[in-house]
């Protein structure tokens, strides 16, 4: 049996080509992800502790930052050679053209003692005293800065001021390289620019011969409960753990998409073996006649799948290495450089090949088991051409029930507001399609094929008949497409619905021409006042909020409150200094009415109106819905002077055109490099840009699953052409032209792809619709938006790809002379 199995593999190598390709692609995705994970982990280990090369111990802040006074006390501890506070925040740079340098800028406090310095200096030196700064070499080169010249740096505490550039450093590939500039300055300057009240940690260098345990105890005594003391080994271990955790999270995200591709590949492989073993019915029966047992037939089929899996896995590992190298090159151009070379670790190769073989063997077990049920008497029949075993009644009944349960769960998710029901409904609906597919898919194929029969004629009718003659086969082929296209369409619909919700929210809440946002943090102090002072600007409102006494207090502008609030009692026009707007729920709870006096932080205000508002308090604020008070910007500043917001709304003054207003805003912002100016359209684009980026990434990763499924369509058609060799020859003998034969096979492929794509689109859209309805019920402003153009594009790509996949099977069907094909056994 072993020799016969190997000879069968050699003889049917071409039949295995497309199914092998499915395994190759699946294993390539697995191997590429694991190889990339190895590189990420290696790079993480190499980068861990980059800025602690000379740190022997550290004190890490618990709840409150560590003050400069604590740094001084640590320096005085016996055994400490040097100590310095460190923080990592954000800042901004004014470029050589007078405009803020683009990109999120990391600002760090750099130790002045050489015993603690771990930065790689490219040119010049590190800062030794206040008013000195170092920048990353790339920013200096790009902005054409000169060492020794002043560079203006700004942050959360106000306008940019000049610092002397004393050097450049290389932070590429470290955790302080996030794609934007790097700013390094001495501790006091870093505190002043970032507005932080203290340091995140204190770095310690010890004197030679100092006992580590004793020093740790003395440092803990100085720090008290405000800080945690870590030894050098603990610092490095934590750094490695953090770095590797980030790499693992990225890998786990990729493995999620790998799992989808592997499941699709499993469907393709199982369907391939089912077709091939069905075509071998007579051969299998002959083996049974000459004495082969069911066990031998089963083991022969499993061995065949193992050999296919082994060869395909080896090719997949090689392709995966190339895929990993490509992803590494792509990541090196982003903010997540690998930091290590791509290598083929023996363990990774072994795991990838083992998974590939297990995938292939596992997918072939059920078809192999069915193949053992061939009776010896089948050797005397033409059973290989008549194998259309129907699906069992139990499977169909279970499929119908599971499909109904999945649809019910999706509807239930809307009513109950449970995200678990959305996921459960999607999974159940998919399994229902799989189980009920032998009835559902052929029925849809007949419906989709009806206009084709009318349009094309006999060729279309033959194509539909061929497609549905084996319900289990077309169901398995189409179901593989349902997975990938279902997930892609779910993300497409979800992304467009989310973007629509964001844009409508901006329209409702931002009623001005321009917005000014902080880059990576709140707006700098004094910015709103500087904008208000410009006569070209009529409305300047910094969105701020604070919680006191279980009430959320918001800053509001009299000219803008009518945009989101409606008066339930009183008059919004009476809102101004010394007055507040009380939301209806809070007024009812406290018994307040229009004209009453309310006290906020020892200040008394008069209620100008009781208002209705659909918005909710900030998540995690602990404030009940509707327990909100609005007061003017000036009153809010007087009550909460330390509170700042991340966004300011700006409108031109009456009679000032948009160009003048924008110029006035830009003239103010030139002194504040940590803010960004946008009009309403740009603000929407910024908020929705992340959604677009995630959608593009997800679509690309799921694209491999769709490709594997389309390989399955081509594979099914190719094997069907081999199965129908004599049948096709008869059609050609009685007058079917070569062109009509091509049309027949093209329509058959298009039907399989179209049905799978339509089911996938329906499933994905249904899941997204349930998710959006659930979010809307929970208080969000979300509605289902169907991007008809993109959904049609997905369907079109699937159908056109299937059409192209029919070219080779059609060529094979037409390559043999009619007489020779008629004699085929």
Q: In the 8-state DSSP scheme, what is residue 115?
A: G
696 vs 57, which has greater pLDDT? Answer: 57
Task: Tally the C-alpha atoms within 13 A of residue 62's C-alpha that lie toward its C-beta.
Answer: 8
The whole-number average pLDDT for the span 597-626 is: 82
Q: How confident is the model at residue 444, as a pLDDT?
A: 92
Task: Tally the C-alpha atoms within 13 A of residue 64's C-alpha that lie toward its C-beta.
Answer: 9
Contact of 514 with 666, CB cutoff 8 Å: no
Among 203-217, 407-421, 469-483, 505-519, name the most confident range: 203-217
Tell which residue, 742, 748, 747, 725, has the closest CA to residue 820. Answer: 725
Using CA atoms, how far apart are residues 126 and 637, in angstroms rounded to an integer? 39
206 vs 178, which has greater pLDDT? Answer: 206
For residue 370 the two structure tokens come to 């069915």
Contacts of 444 (CB under 8 A, 6+ apart): 755, 758, 759
- The pLDDT tens digits for 505-539 are 887 778 788 999 988 788 888 899 999 999 999 99
The answer to whether residue 157 scores a pLDDT higher than 80 is: no
Long-range contacts of the stretch 395-401 (C-beta < 8 A, 24+) = 395/435, 395/438, 396/435, 396/436, 396/438, 396/439, 398/435, 399/431, 399/432, 399/433, 399/434, 399/435, 399/436, 399/437, 399/439, 400/432, 400/436, 401/432
The whole-number average pLDDT for the span 613-629 is: 74
Average pLDDT, the chain: 84
Backbone angles phi, psi at 533, to 5 degrees: -70, -15
Q: How confident is the model at residue 471, as a pLDDT?
A: 86
Q: Parallel, antiparallel, or unpaired: how do β-strands 603-612 and 579-583 relate? A: parallel
Backbone angles phi, psi at 780, to 5 degrees: -80, 165
Contact of 359 with 266, CB cutoff 8 Å: yes
Q: How confident is the model at residue 41, as a pLDDT?
A: 74
Q: In the 8-state DSSP scheme, what is residue 390?
A: P
| Type and span of the H or E element at 744 | helix 738-777
- The pLDDT tens digits for 440-493 are 999 999 999 898 888 888 888 888 888 888 888 888 888 888 988 999 999 999
Q: Parallel, antiparallel, or unpaired: how do β-strands 105-109 and 182-185 relate? A: parallel
- Residue 800: alpha-carbon gap to chain centroid: 28
pTM for the whole thing? 0.77
The answer to whether residue 16 scores a pLDDT higher than 70 is: no
Q: In the 8-state DSSP scheme, what is residue 224?
A: G
The answer to whether residue 174 scores a pLDDT higher than 60 is: yes
The whole-number average pLDDT for the span 269-296 is: 71
Q: Parallel, antiparallel, or unpaired: how do β-strands 120-124 and 158-170 relate? A: antiparallel
Using CA atoms, how far apart are residues 285 and 228, in angstroms rounded to an integer? 75
Backbone angles phi, psi at 653, to 5 degrees: -70, 165
The answer to whether residue 823 scores a pLDDT higher than 60 is: yes
Name the 3-class secondary structure at 263: helix
String of DSSP letters for 52-102: GTT--EEEEESSSPBPHHHHHHHHTSTTEEEEEEE-EEEEEEB-TTSSBPP
Contact of 736 with 410, CB cutoff 8 Å: no
For residue 147 the two structure tokens come to 């060492």
Contacts of 214 (CB under 8 A, 6+ apart): 79
Burial 299-326 (b: 16+ CB within 10 A, else e): bbbbbbbbbbbbbbbbbbbbbbbebbbe
- Residue 315: alpha-carbon gap to chain centroid: 29
Handedness of CA 803, 809, 814, 815 (dihedral sign): positive
Q: How confident is the model at residue 371, as a pLDDT?
A: 65
Contacts of 759 (CB under 8 A, 6+ apart): 433, 440, 441, 444, 478, 479, 481, 482, 486
For residue 47 the two structure tokens come to 């980068």
Share of the chain above pLDDT 90, in %: 34
Using CA atoms, how far apart are residues 59 and 67, in angstroms rounded to an integer? 12
For residue 302 the two structure tokens come to 């499993």
| Rounded (5°) CA angle 713-715-720 | 95
703 vs 7, which has greater pLDDT? Answer: 703
Q: How confident is the model at residue 741, as a pLDDT?
A: 86
Lowest mean pLDDT among 128-142, 254-268, 315-329, 337-351: 337-351
Using CA atoms, how far apart are residues 412 and 423, in angstroms rounded to an integer? 12
Q: How confident is the model at residue 383, as a pLDDT?
A: 45
Using CA atoms, how far apart are residues 491 and 488, in angstroms rounded to an integer? 5
The whole-number average pLDDT for the span 589-594 is: 92
Using CA atoms, how far apart are residues 153 and 337, in angstroms rounded to an integer? 27
Using CA atoms, how far apart are residues 280 and 274, in angstroms rounded to an integer? 10
Q: How confident is the model at residue 825, as a pLDDT?
A: 46
Share of the chain above pLDDT 70, in %: 89
For residue 138 the two structure tokens come to 């790339």
- The pLDDT tens digits for 376-390 are 665 455 544 445 566
Burial 495-522 (b: 16+ CB within 10 A, else e): bbbbbbbbbebbeeebbbbbbbbbbbbb
Contact of 552 with 137, CB cutoff 8 Å: no
Q: In the 8-state DSSP scheme, what is residue 51?
A: G
Q: How confident is the model at residue 385, as a pLDDT?
A: 45
For residue 73 the two structure tokens come to 């006390």
- Residue 570 β-bridge partners: 609
């Amino acid at each position: 049996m072993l020799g016969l199995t190997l000879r069968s593999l050699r003889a049917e190598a071409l039949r295995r080509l497309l199914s092998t390709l499915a395994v190759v692609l699946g294993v390539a995705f697995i191997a590429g992800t694991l190889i990339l994970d190895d590189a990420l982990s290696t790079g993480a280990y190499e980068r861990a502790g980059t800025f602690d090369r000379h740190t022997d111990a550290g004190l890490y802040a618990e709840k409150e930052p560590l003050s400069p006074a604590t740094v001084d006390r640590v320096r005085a501890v016996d055994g400490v050679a040097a100590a310095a506070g460190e923080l990592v925040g954000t800042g901004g740079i004014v470029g050589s053209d007078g405009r803020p340098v683009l990109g999120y800028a990391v600002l760090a406090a750099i130790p002045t003692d050489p015993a603690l310095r771990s930065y790689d200096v490219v040119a010049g030196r590190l800062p030794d005293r206040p008013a000195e700064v170092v920048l990353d070499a790339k920013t200096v080169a790009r902005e054409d800065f000169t060492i020794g010249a002043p560079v203006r740096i700004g942050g959360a505490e106000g306008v940019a001021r000049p610092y002397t550039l004393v050097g450049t450093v290389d932070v590429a590939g470290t955790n302080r390289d996030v794609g934007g500039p790097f700013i390094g300055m001495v501790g006091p300057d870093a505190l002043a620019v970032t507005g932080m009240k203290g340091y995140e940690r204190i770095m310690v260098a010890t004197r030679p011969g100092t006992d580590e345990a004793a020093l740790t105890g003395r440092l803990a005594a100085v720090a008290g409960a405000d800080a945690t003391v870590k030894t050098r080994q603990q610092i490095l271990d934590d750094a490695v753990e953090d770095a590797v955790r980030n790499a693992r999270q990225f890998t786990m995200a990729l493995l999620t998409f790998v799992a989808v591709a592997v499941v699709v590949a499993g469907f393709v492989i199982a369907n391939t073996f089912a077709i091939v073993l069905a075509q071998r019915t007579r051969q299998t029966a002959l083996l049974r006649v000459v004495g082969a047992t069911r066990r031998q037939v089963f083991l022969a089929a499993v061995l065949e799948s193992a050999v296919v899996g082994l060869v395909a896995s080896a090719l997949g590992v090689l392709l995966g290495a190339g895929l990993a190298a490509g992803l590494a090159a792509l990541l090196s151009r982003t903010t997540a450089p690998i930091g290590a070379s791509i290598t083929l670790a023996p363990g990774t190769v072994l795991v990838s090949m083992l998974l590939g073989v297990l995938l292939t063997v596992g997918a072939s077990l059920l078809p192999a088991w069915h193949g053992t049920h061939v009776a010896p008497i089948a050797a005397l029949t033409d059973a290989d051409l008549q194998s259309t075993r129907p699906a069992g009644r139990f499977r169909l009944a279970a499929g119908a029930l599971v499909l109904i349960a999945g649809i019910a769960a999706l509807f239930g998710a809307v009513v109950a507001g449970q995200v678990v029901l959305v996921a459960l409904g999607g999974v159940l609906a998919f399994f229902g399609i799989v189980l009920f597919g032998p009835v559902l898919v052929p029925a849809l194929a007949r419906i989709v094929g009806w206009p084709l029969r009318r349009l094309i004629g006999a060729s279309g009718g033959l194509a539909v008949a061929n497609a549905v003659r084996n319900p289990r086969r077309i169901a398995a082929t189409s179901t593989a497409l349902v997975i990938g296209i279902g997930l892609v369409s779910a993300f497409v619909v979800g992304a467009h619905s989310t973007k629509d919700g964001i844009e409508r929210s901006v329209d409702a809440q931002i009623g001005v021409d321009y917005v000014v946002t902080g880059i990576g943090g709140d707006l700098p102090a004094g910015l709103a006042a500087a904008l208000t002072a410009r006569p070209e600007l009529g409305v300047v409102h910094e969105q701020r909020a604070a919680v006191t006494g279980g009430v959320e207090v918001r800053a509001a502008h009299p000219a803008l409150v009518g945009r989101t609030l409606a008066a339930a009692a009183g008059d919004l026009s009476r809102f101004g200094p010394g007055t507040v707007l009380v939301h209806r729920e809070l007024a009812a709870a406290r018994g307040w009415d229009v004209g009453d006096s309310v006290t906020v932080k020892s200040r008394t205000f008069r209620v100008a109106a009781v208002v209705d508002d659909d918005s909710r308090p900030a998540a995690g604020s602990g404030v009940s819905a509707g327990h909100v008070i609005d007061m003017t910007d000036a009153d809010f500043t007087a009550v909460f002077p330390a509170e700042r917001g991340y966004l300011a709304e700006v409108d031109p003054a009456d009679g000032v055109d948009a160009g003048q207003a924008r110029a006035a805003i830009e003239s103010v912002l030139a002194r504040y490099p940590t803010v960004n100016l946008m009009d309403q359209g740009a603000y929407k684009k910024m908020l929705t840009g992340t959604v677009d980026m995630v959608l593009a990434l997800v679509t690309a990763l799921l694209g491999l699953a769709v490709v594997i499924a389309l390989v399955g369509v081509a594979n099914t058609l190719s094997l069907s052409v081999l199965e129908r060799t004599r049948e096709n020859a008869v059609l050609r003998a009685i007058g079917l032209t070569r062109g009509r034969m091509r049309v027949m096979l093209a329509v058959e492929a298009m039907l399989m792809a179209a049905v799978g794509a339509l089911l996938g689109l329906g499933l994905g859209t249904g899941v997204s619709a349930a998710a959006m309805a659930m979010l809307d019920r929970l208080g969000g402003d979300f509605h289902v938006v169907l991007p008809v153009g993109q959904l049609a594009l997905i369907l079109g790509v699937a159908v056109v790809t299937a059409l192209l996949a029919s070219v080779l099977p059609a060529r094979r069907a037409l390559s043999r002379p009619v007489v020779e094909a008629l004699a085929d056994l």
